[in-house]
Each structure stands twice: as structure tokens, then as C-alpha cells.
Chains A and B, each alone.
Chain A
């Protein structure tokens, strides 16, 4: 059976193709359109997925959309009605939006793919998140927690799932918290307040939080209250997202926390104002953690299960994830490589296969590499045409040269095999550098990635050596598989891992299993033999504002723009020759 899963229209559109119960391809639209967080209908992603299996759209048995548009319309309309008359500005925009396209998803899919509308199905947004988390995880029975901004009505769900290879699958979502009460929107309001883009800058809030003290925690608890039944509710007087189009927080919010950060001005942590914003970030982070850990703890008590599968945008918060693992009582915490809306394309397809069509479960390969592969010949051609020195290398030569380059302080673009599905670079589209050089972090932020100085970088370490360098709780290695947890760096190594140790002594470590990315694993081992620590700084291969690179041409372009020293795409390696390149650029400018 051939099932296409689609997520689109809000943020991070994606497509995923499932054949006979197993993923064949999955990719975010932004990786192909080159527009960050592209929310449009994912034509390119669908086309690429179908191309991987040499399928025409008409050969699909089913297309499944990751949420129910009519139920979403119900929520939007009901919210606008409840906000009357304050919602008068939001009403025309929301209706234009919903009625102009988003409500008619069945027709949009039928029109774009030329498939019968009868073959287009829908599932709940949070069920897609749950399926993406549970059906890809190597566990037979688990509690399920999903949390994000909002789906149709739900913003957070609790449930449990059971599956067995060759057998039936069940996912029972037991209860939910409904819009407008939302942990995701609570955090997004602070993202906006702190001058970052909503749905994009939440990482920055988490990074900034480490510089602050939770001085505002009491106020935060006042606006994010706990209900008697163990859920939570927002004091809506402090928020505006439920009645305005372009405002997340209200005047009362500003009265409480002070004026929002001017997004044109950088955060200067040496000033009182900069520290104030860091304190706000720390307080929001702390209170979010308290609530989510408490909910996860009660879910553990209720289900008695050892494993938790966590999906939705909130599951990208690695600090909260690590606390859940440490404190909620679960032995293992599974967060998929794409816990956000993009991952819902895969989740919806898996849900349709296992539950809508009642087909037996098949274990999914436990890796994130479902996107387009590297074509190294393209790099050789580009380098030859532009007069850059390049070489075709054996695996051993490649590792030797990359190790040598990184050990001597160079920055390497590393492209290997298929792209990752999800927001993290997990070793196939990465920028690699020396983790021990403290100046490297500032340099990478300022000159290579062009991003804020306070943002941390992540390390990657082989799984069997992770505990030597990082304080991993039981189950920590699993959470670190897709870089989903933030853990303390052991104090004795912090000085030697200065470029990847955040200001609070932690790191969002990727714990690399050899089977997942053998090339990068071999590189880590070789680097360990050369420098004593098998750890590299691993950051996504992109510049600020761009999606992670997909093709070699994009990697090559980014390599040149960012002033990196070396680019490796499978077996082809290109080096920078500064003098020559500057000459070439002057020639044509």
C-alpha cells in the first residue's frame, strides 16, 4: 500500500511517502524551495518523494493530511466569536485565510495531484504528532505526550500506545488541554516579546535562558496557572493571540514585564536591560519545565509504563526534555528527529497505514535520513569550473584530511548521503569544527553563521564514549540520538570542550550510534585518536535565515559565502584558497 502524508499551510510544510508500512522518503518543503519554514503546499517535496519510488500521484492508494481542516475552522470561528467585538481586526484576515484556501484542503490536494478526492483522508493534528513519536520509536508500549502551539483544538494531549511487529497498533489519546490554553503559545509569546520570530526563535529563548536567573518565576506562575485537575490554564488577560492577528501578548503583559525588546538591537548581556531579558527567558523556561515535568510525572504514575514518546513543537525544548527524563520516572524518552509539524507528514502516513487501514505494524528504521542524497560529482564539476582545488578521496584519506583540518583549527562543511528529516543536522549536513577552541564559538556565530553571540553550539560524540564527557541520566543516550536533550558537560572536560559548553555548563549533545552515520562515527574515532577526545562541534550546514543545505550546489554556495576552509561531499573534497578566490571575485565584480 502506498500512502503519502502531507503537512502544510501553517509552518514547516513537508511530505512523506510510506510503501507497505515503511517510510521510503520524507522531506521538508523548505529544503527544496530554499525558503525557511516554507508553509506552502509542498509540491516540490511531494514530487521528490514520489520520484524516489518512481510513482505517479494516481498510483497512490491514499493521501493523508496531518490535521482536520473543518475542525480547525470550527476552532478559529469559535475563537473569533468569543472574542467579539475585540476580534474585529482578526476576523477578515482569519476568514480570508481559512476560506480562501485552508478549509478546502481536500480540493487543493485533489487539484494539485490530480487524485480522486475520495482518496484524500485526514487525521487529528495531535494524533499525527503522537504517531510520529510513537510509531517511529523502538518500543512496543509507551505513554504518549504531545504539546505544541495549537492543532485543531488541542494544544497538549496525553495518551498511550501499543504496537507489535506484525500485529495491530493502538494509539489512545486519553485527554487534552484545549486552545487558548497552550504551553507552546505561552513560550511563543515570550519569543515574540524577546524580539525573535515566532516558530523560529524559540531555540534562541532557550539559549538565552541559560544566561539569566528565574527572577520572574512568580509572575510567570501567575499567568501560567495550574488547574485543580493537574492541567494548566493561561491568564488570557496577558495574551492577545486569541483575538489579534499580529500580537502574541497584551498590554497587561507589557505592564508586568516591561517594554519588549527592540528586535533591531542586539542583546547586550553586560547591560541591565540585556540581563532583564535573559531573566525573563530563564523564568519562562523554568515555568514551562515545571508544568511539563509535572504532567509527564502524573502520566507515568497513571500508565505505569517505562517509555514515553514525546511529540509536538515543545519537544524541541532539549532542556525540558532532559528534565522529563531525569524527574518524571520514565526509563526512556523518545523524541523523533522531526517532532514539529513537518514530522506530522510522516506521523499521519504511519497512522493511516496502521490504524485507518488497519495494517500490521512494521518497525521503522531508527534513523532520520529520508531526504535527497548527495551527488558528489556535482561538487567536482563546480570546483573544477571555478578553479578550486578538489580531490576524490578514499574513505580513509577523507577522514585523515578532515581530522587534520579540524585539528588545525579549520572549519569543515560535511555532506554525506541523504538529508535529515527534521530541524537538526545529525551528521549528514553539518558544519564541523574543533570543540575545544573557545574562540571558535564566537567566530562561528559572528563570521560563519552570522547569528547572535549568545547561541550555543552542539557537540557530537560516539555513543560508547558519551558518558565519559557528559552527565547522561539513564536513557540519556537515547534522548541524545536525535540531539533532543541538553545535559551537563562533566566539569573536568568543560575547559577542553569550551566551544560546545554553554554558559551554564551544559551541551545539547548528539550521541552517535555507529550504525546511524558510520562515516561521521569513523571521523569521531579518528579525531579522538588524534586529539584525545572523540568529540566534534556539530552545527547545521546553513547560514542565518537559510534552510539547511540539501544539494551539493547549495553546500558549495554556503561554503563560499561563509568563508569555510573545507567542503566534503561524500568522496569529493574541496579546499579554500583564499588568495585565489578573492582574485576570482575581484575579476568579476
Chain B
């Protein structure tokens, strides 16, 4: 992956964009973790989640500050998001984590694996950022924190689910795989649906569009008789 990472991070536009996206991901992760701290009954876990969430807030701020600094040097910063952003596992944070619906062991296993993926990704990014020592310092600092999160979540997993930690981790790995497949399937489905609907648009709509334009000319702006007056006692859908 080294050449790919190098290609990704050598471009200053992409670098700034990625850092700002990471800031969003970390901020979302912080929200999920604060939520976990709110719903968990175990006081030790609550403190752990709270401390972890605060780290994520700090990370969001570090990424944002560095991302903005890079962005300010660009003449044309470009779009905030482009196709393919966030596809790597370590770049999606907790990936729409539904905290209330998870068991504590599943949640911890999920956090552990997410942090591990993030830690590996950030270590790899750090390795190709020799040309930008400031960004590398930020990423390496955060990668170290992610390792700490990896460790605490593994320790807590063993504490809350003694003897079942490995099972929880495997279940979580399978879920991550399944999610990755579903995500790909949905992206594909979305692309196919768009293609079909775009074809329909150009093949089917033109005559109707002509009629619609003609109808529009008959509707001048200004006041109209209320739609609600027509059939407001039927409770129907139209």
C-alpha cells in the first residue's frame, strides 16, 4: 500500500481534505463514545469511554487545525468530499455505531478493532509524510493515542466478558466484514439505480416535460386557492 498512500498524501489538496474529514470522523466518534458513557451502567467503563471521547475531541481539534493550516495555503481548496473518500477501514471511525443496541462486549470488541485499524492506517500515513513533518507529527501523536485506546478496550473486554473476549472479537470481525460487503452492495445498488433512473429520465421524460412546461405557463406566481380546501376531510394521501 506504500505507493498508494504516498500518492494520496503527496497532493496538498487531498492532504488538507483528508485531515478535515478525519476531524469530522473523530468528532463523530467522540459523540458515539460520550453516548456510550451515558448509557453504560459500569462506572469504570463510563470513565474509560469518557476519557476516550475526550481524546477523540482533542484529535478532531488537532486534525482540524492542521487541515485548515494546509487549506489556507491553497489557491483553490476544491470540494470537501470526492468519490472514494472514507473507504479505508481506519478512516471511518466507528462507522454509524448504534451504541444503545450493542452489548458491552460487542461494543468493546468493535472499539478495539476500529482503533486497531485506525492505528495501522495512521502509522502507514506517518511513514509517507516525510515531506510534511508537521502533519506527520500530528498523525503520529494520534496513532500513539489510538494504540492506547486499542489496549484499554482489549483489557476492558477481558474484564467485562471473561473467557469470551476472543469470541467477541471474532464476532466483531465478521460483522465488520459483513458491513463492508453491505456497504459495497449498497454503493453498487445506488450506482445501478442512478443509471437506470438517468436512462429513464432521458428516454421517458421529454414528452412529459413538454406538457409540464405548458402546464407551468398556466400557473402564474401569486396567490392560489388552497390545496387544503379541496379534500381536507378525507385523510387521503393526495
> Which residues of A approach B to under 8 Å, CB–CB?
34, 64, 68-71, 74, 78, 80-82, 84-85, 88, 91-93, 95-96, 105-106, 121-124, 126-127, 152-154, 157, 159, 172-178, 181, 227-233, 262, 264-265, 352, 355-356, 382, 385-386, 545-546, 551, 553-554, 556-557, 560-561, 584-585, 587-589
Contacts and interface: CB of A to CB of B under 8 A. Distances in A.
A68 B234 CA distance: 11
B233 A386 contact: no
A553 B205 contact: no
A461 B71 CA distance: 45
Given A69-B237, A589-B51, A124 B227 contact: yes
Contacts of B35: 34
A175 B197 contact: no
A382 B236 CA distance: 49
Interface in B39-53: 39, 43-44, 46-48, 50-51
Contacts of B148: 589
Contacts of A96: 190, 193-194, 197
B232 interface: yes
B54 interface: yes
Given A92-B198, A587-B47, 7 more contacts: A84-B213, A173-B228, A173-B229, A177-B224, A231-B222, A585-B54, A588-B48
Interface string B2-17: 0000000000000000
Contacts of A154: 226-228
Nearest to A64: B235
Contacts of B212: 78, 81-82, 84
B37 interface: yes
Nearest to B16: A264
B43 A159 contact: no
B20 interface: yes
B185 interface: no
A176 B238 contact: no
Contacts of A80: 205
Contacts of A382: 46
6 contacts: A71-B238, A96-B190, A154-B227, A177-B223, A262-B77, A587-B47
B236 A175 contact: no
Given A227-B222, A233-B221, A589-B55, A88 B202 contact: yes
Nearest to B225: A175
Interface in B14-68: 20, 27, 31, 34-35, 37-39, 43-44, 46-48, 50-51, 54-55, 68
B75 interface: no
Interface residues of B, number: 53
Given A34-B35, A560-B50, A588-B47, A176 B224 contact: yes
Interface string B69-99: 0010000010000000000000000000000
B47 A71 contact: no
The SS class assigned to the B binding surface is helix
Q: Which 9 A-B pairs have the closest CB atoms?
A: A121-B235, A233-B221, A84-B209, A81-B212, A92-B197, A385-B43, A70-B238, A70-B237, A227-B222
Given A385-B46, A386-B46, A124 B232 contact: yes
A230 B222 CA distance: 7
B208 A81 contact: yes
Nearest to B52: A589
A71 B227 contact: yes
B237 A106 contact: yes
A231 B220 CA distance: 11
Contacts of B27: 545
Contacts of A553: 38-39
A82 B216 contact: yes
B206 A84 contact: yes
Contacts of A177: 221-224
Contact of B228 (A157, A227, A231, A546): A157
A168 to B, nearest CB: 13
A88 B221 contact: no
B201 interface: yes
A414 B156 CA distance: 34
Contacts of B44: 588
B151 to A, nearest CB: 12
Contacts of A588: 44, 47-48, 50-51
Contacts of B213: 81-82, 84
B232 A127 contact: yes
A84 B233 contact: no
Contact of A88 (B34, B54, B201): B201
B236 A122 contact: yes
A80 B43 CA distance: 54
Contact of B224 (A122, A175, A545): A175
Contacts of B232: 123-124, 127, 355
